[in-house]
Structure 1
Amino acid sequence: MATTPVEHPSTTSTFPTRQKPLPYAFVNGRRTPLSSILPPLVFGTATFNHQYNTDPFALDTTGLVTSALTHGIRAFDTSPYYGPSEQLLGDALATSFVRETFPRNSYMILTKVGRIGGQEFDYSKEWVRQSVGRSLERLHTEYLDLVYCHDVEFVSPAEVLEAVRELRRIRDEEGTVRYIGISGYPIDVLGDMAELILRETGEPLDAVQSYANFTLQNQTLAGPRGVHRLRNAGVDVVPNASILGMGLLRREGVPVGALGDFHPAPSTLRKAVRNASDFCDAYGERIEVMAIRFALETWISAGALCGSQGDPASGVPWKHESNQDVGGSKLGVSVIGVSRASELEKTMLVWRSILDGLEGGKETAVQAGRWYRAWEWSRNRRKAVQILAEGVQEVLDDGFGYAWASPDPGYVNTKKKDKKVPQESDAQWLTPAASPQAVPVRDLTEIAEERSLPMR
């Protein structure tokens, strides 16, 4: 059963019984544009994986998902490639508390197809069908809101086309998929694929998700090769994922989980980031705090060209906020990833502060009973973050804008012919029975010492 969320002192309303559905419709062959309903803040569950954590089953994923929902998050991103992520997310969304309070039509599930392992990909229509079916089962849902072709740079353009066409067939004939996109790392490959799909099929992609390309270290996604090119290819939404550069932008360095040091950043870039971290320390800031605030706040405007007017997460427990409350314009969509309750709480504090600084934020803060100077605080904080971000850019020097190779030179797809979707018993990860019991979400009073970190 889901961990019962704690009603924080800032909460002004009682617990609602059921949340309202997202305004999705499919009428006369036309569906609501993704950019009208996708929330600008998406909860990414790549952290529910052995790359980032020694044992994902030891995380309180049920508590995290429940707390995210109560704070207003209404979209979750996952993938079969993320180890047990789909299973853990699906189980969290299937608890009685979540089902009774947050109906399936009140939030969105985003997942992927095509990537099986580190060196194994299968974009065939047969595999796409099996993968979608397995995701539906794992996530305990009758439909998937958005399905990406995962890391398209590892396969040929013809394979990407085959997978996209099969996803669209499933969308049109079976209705278990609503929107279709691609994801990957190299900016130019994403642009090439988006243009190819539009040219060959006459229909643009609903979404192209890029990761680690709009951060303190690399901001290529905001330029002509990124969001502008994708918009010209008809792409509706461009979510920005991995705002910490797959964990590169952290004082303690890249995350090392059960799979060891997987990060592709070379030693020279890691050293440059360490120097940048020392620079931030000298001004009383942690580099990850700077990175989170900078990416979320700047992408709201930089990514607006392919952004969304979906309702943002309010960041305040049990407080709904509409897009109109923060100005009514499109907001760039970002994907966040956390592993623990304290990380989620701090991230939501940052997000709330960012929203306070948007158009209409001053009035919204007052109406919600927050500090009447929250808007002013947010605007001043933005200036400070921008100044330090420019300093980080100077310290990174040649490391700023650096992009690692993906795939590595000499990569060979190890896809096996006639491969079938593995059964859960074949999965190469720890089982819940082999893991410590999950720790419930704690009350904020229990993490007071952790909140001394200046996150806002």
Structure 2
Amino acid sequence: MATTPVEHPTTTSTFPTRQKPIPYSCVDGQRTRLSSILPPLVFGAATFNHQYNNDPFALDTTGMVTSALTHGIRAFDTSPYYGPSEQLLGDALATPFVRETFPRNSYMILTKAGRIASEEFDYSKEWVRYSVKRSLERLHTDYLDLVYCHDVEFVSPAEVLEAVTELRRIRDEEGTIRYVGIAGYPVDVLGDMAEMILRETGEPLDAVQNYACFSLQNQTLAGPGGIQRLHNAGVDVVPNASIIGMGLLRRVGVPIGGLGDWHPAPADLRAAIRRASDFCDNYGELIEVIAIRFALETWISVGAICGSKGDPASGVPWKHESNDDVGGAKLGVSVIGVSKADELEKTMLVWRSIVDGLEGGEETAAQAGRWSRAWEWSRNRRKAVQILADGVREELGVWFDFAWASPGVGYVNKRQKDTKVLEDNDAPWLTPAASPEAVPLKGGPDIAEEKILPLR
């Protein structure tokens, strides 16, 4: 079984100092382009939620956020829809150590507005204003770097236009938002909305985030109707989220958190993923390892047309790297999600290895005191992962590029149009005392025990 080279410490120990600001400016209404400053690796805080964990309050969210920052991550993605995620992330970023070492202008916060519950959406300007105000409070910040309209496929184009227009008004008149985008699952709907917004307003979107459509199982975001269409609509950055399909691409199956089995993947797709997982097992690999490395490494180049020149995370504690250190080109932006410290550590080692394989990686590794052949190992690992990715595609057959319906059949927005915008309208979070019992995973004891992301 292939192994990852052991991480060697740098030759000099750097004492943590106050981190440098991200170079944002706004002069006469002209903002720094998002694609010049957004880091290519974003920490996704959707896992700070009952969908993925029985009790997100029991997670070491402060430790994970602090570790992410020390390893070079400079952007965090969350949403009010993710239960207590905004509050947990905000509290982690508000600790004395983080505030002193990582000033607010040294990292970016991305959040969303419009989605309230699984079947409840409100894109009205009144709710958008309220949602932004609440996010600022929860995240303990004076401004939000980017706000997406959350899951735009569930509402009408007119509603999306109203929400985007209000977010831009807040951006221009109040200054508590810097960039505006949309997010969702169906690639064609995202294209429709991006084109509509450009046509109706004359201004393109700063960002369009898609999830689960560039992975081992579904790669439609890379097609002409995906990122190329969004680029043609003037979209600046297209982040790729849910690189393992909201947990679908795991040997243990979809995540079962406090909300039970919520995943929309049909049974036949899950069975196909299980066969593909068995295929990977035959070659000494776990499907989630191949999925993470394939998506991160491939999207760096495939997503570059709507990528960013922001500084990449180095993956090494207290080691800063600039975009120039890895060739100076745009890199496709990806969002990662982890629930445990060891998952973050291993994901950062994978990312470090990927960065080693970029242009300039050989020299960068040497300067950092890393293994002299890290660049070569990274390039060879890329080839091996691509071979297994091709094999997974063969195993999936008709389920490759399959997309589940979003919204599902019979969906009706349960939000009452005359609902007053008051804080007590928010559904209460499950508190630690009210968190449900753990739900055992299906598939036998051999699968249920294997919950940790292995090192590759």
Shorter-chain TM-score range: over 0.9
Distance 2:264 2:217 in 1: 14
Distance 1:60 1:422 in 2: 31
Distance 1:52 1:365 in 2: 35
AA aligned to 2:64 is L
Tell whether the 8 Å contact from 2:72 to 2:316 is kept in structure 1 after alignment.
yes
Distance 2:399 2:179 in 1: 36
AA aligned to 1:340 is K
**1:81–1:452 distance in 2 versus 1, CA, 3 Å:** closer
Q: Secondary structure at the match of 1:179?
A: strand
CA RMSD of aligned residues (A): 1.9
Tell whether the 8 Å contact from 2:258 to 2:435 is kept in structure 1 after alignment.
no
Partner in structure 2 of residue 47 of structure 1: 47
Partner in structure 2 of residue 36 of structure 1: 36
Deviation at 1:409, TM superposition (A): 1.2
State the number of aligned residues: 437
1:167-186 matches, cutoff 5 A: 167-186=167-186
TM-score (norm 1): 0.93
Tell whether the 8 Å contact from 2:94 to 2:140 is kept in structure 1 after alignment.
yes
Partner in structure 2 of residue 325 of structure 1: 325
Distance 2:451 2:315 in 1: 16
Q: 1:417-442 deviations in whole A, cap 9, x for unaligned?
A: 33345647964323357679xxxxxx
Partner in structure 2 of residue 290 of structure 1: 290
Kindly indicate whether residue 419 of structure 2 is the aligned counterpart of residue 415 of structure 1.
Answer: no
Tell whether the 8 Å contact from 2:11 to 2:368 is kept in structure 1 after alignment.
no
Distance 1:346 1:76 in 2: 18
Q: Secondary structure at the match of 2:47?
A: coil
1:195-234 matches, cutoff 5 A: 195-234=195-234
Q: Secondary structure at the match of 2:54?
A: coil
Partner in structure 2 of residue 357 of structure 1: 357
Q: Secondary structure at the match of 1:35?
A: helix
**1:141–1:424 distance in 2 versus 1, CA, 3 Å:** farther
TM-score (norm 2): 0.93
Distance 1:426 1:158 in 2: 24
AA aligned to 1:347 is T
Partner in structure 2 of residue 383 of structure 1: 383
Deviation at 1:153, TM superposition (A): 0.2
Runs of 5+ consecutive residues of structure 1 not aligned to the other structure:
1-6, 437-449
Partner in structure 2 of residue 446 of structure 1: none
**1:324–1:112 distance in 2 versus 1, CA, 3 Å:** same
**1:267–1:226 distance in 2 versus 1, CA, 3 Å:** same
Partner in structure 1 of residue 368 of structure 2: 368
Q: 1:383-437 deviations in whole A, cap 9, x for unaligned?
A: 000000000000000110000000001100001233345647964323357679x
1:29-428 matches, cutoff 5 A: 29-421=29-421, 423=423, 427-428=427-428
Q: 1:256-293 deviations in whole A, cap 9, x for unaligned?
A: 10100000000000000000000000000000000000
Distance 1:361 1:452 in 2: 29
Deviation at 1:453, TM superposition (A): 7.0
AA aligned to 1:318 is W
Deviation at 1:25, TM superposition (A): 0.5
Distance 2:120 2:452 in 1: 43
Deviation at 1:451, TM superposition (A): 13
Tell whether the 8 Å contact from 2:288 to 2:453 is kept in structure 1 after alignment.
no
Identity %: 82
Q: 1:351-374 deviations in whole A, cap 9, x for unaligned?
A: 000000000100110011101100
**1:452–1:29 distance in 2 versus 1, CA, 3 Å:** closer
